Structure 1
Amino acid sequence: MGLTGFGVFFLFFGMILFFDKALLAIGNILFVAGLSFVIGLERTFKFFFQRHKFKATSFFLGGVLVVLIGWPIIGVVLEIYGFFLLFRGFFPVAVGFIRRLPVLGPGLGLICVRRTTLK
């Protein structure tokens, strides 16, 4: 969990510092390594390389490669698109969990948030 957390931190910090390619590259490597350690190498491989997730995986890993090559803005855009395609099935579960939290739950009850999450 620590590697994944540090990966997200470095990615966020790299974006704040005007897409610093070194911080983004470190964040990408830590995030993928942390994900591999959290769910295991075999399950990570099975998650990323499913037939119906090929497009999402190619955008995400292609974005990582583009960041490592040295084009951080284009790489981050590709990564974000791939990330949302990969984890779009998880977002309703996360919203359902946040709805049960005492402070954040009522905030999701707002009309603008309720309309987008009920679809």
Structure 2
Amino acid sequence: MGFLTVSLLLFILGVMFFLDRALLVMGNLSFLIGLCLLIGVKSTLSFFLKKGKIKGSIFFFLGFFIIVFLRLSIVGFPLQIYGLFQMFKSFLPFLYDSATKLPIIGRYLRNPQLKKMVDEVSAKGPIRMRQINLILLLFDNLRNLLKILLLSKINYFICCNYQKLQIIQWKQNLDILKSQQIYRTSIY
């Protein structure tokens, strides 16, 4: 379990340091070693060679090969992420159900649209229709998120800058009054 934690940490650091090749390679190796130590070598091989996970395994090891031998982290890392997603997507409903039971963030994750999206991603069936529905659902969620962010930014601007706006308006009014005063004194 320690190697898997180290691999997650190294992956995060590798992304934070703009896809640093050395960190990503160490993360990959510690992931493979951790998986072998956790479930055994034979089970690890059977996991990667299962019929439903062969596509994900190909993408994962292709990304690993590109990172290590071709030194192209920017190409290999997205391939690895896609491969890991393909291998572990059947695990998403369990992970989602566990996350909804967490004390603080659980109530935010109990969203019917998010549940539907998790079910769509992890389900098996006609791929085209699932992908189209998933994309539409993602765009709908992104649109709602952007609305919330925009409204919160507007509210923040209004609340924090209200006094500044009043001062600017007051100064403008004062400038107008001064210019009118100067104009009046120059006429007389």
Q: TM-score, normalised by structure 1?
A: 0.91
Match of 1:97 in 2: 98
Taking only the aligned residue pairs, the percentage that are identical comes to 31
Gaps of 5+ in 2: 121-188
**Aligned to 1:87, what secondary structure does the other structure show?**
helix
Aligned ranges 1:20-35 → 2 under 5 Å:
20-35=20-35
Gaps of 5+ in 1: none
Q: Are 2:92 and 2:118, in contact at CA under 8 Å, matched by a contact in 1?
A: no
Task: Please state how far the C-alpha of 1:74 moved relative to its aligned partner.
Answer: 0.6
Match of 2:58 in 1: 58
**Aligned to 2:80, what secondary structure does the other structure show?**
helix
Match of 1:36 in 2: 36
Q: Which digits, 9 at most, give the CA deviation of each residue in 1:28-58, with x for residues without a partner?
A: 1011111111111111111101123211110
Q: Are 2:93 and 2:119, in contact at CA under 8 Å, matched by a contact in 1?
A: no
Runs of 4+ in 1 over 6 A off after TM superposition: none
Task: Please state how far the C-alpha of 1:115 moved relative to its aligned partner.
Answer: 4.0
How far, CA to CA, are the matches of 1:118 and 1:54 in structure 2?
A: 21
Q: TM-score, normalised by structure 2?
A: 0.60
Match of 2:18 in 1: 18
How far, CA to CA, are the matches of 2:25 and 2:50 in structure 1?
A: 25
Task: Please state how far the C-alpha of 1:103 moved relative to its aligned partner.
Answer: 1.5
Please give the root-mean-square deviation of Cα atoms over the aligned residues, in Å: 1.4
Q: Which has the larger radius of gyration?
A: 2
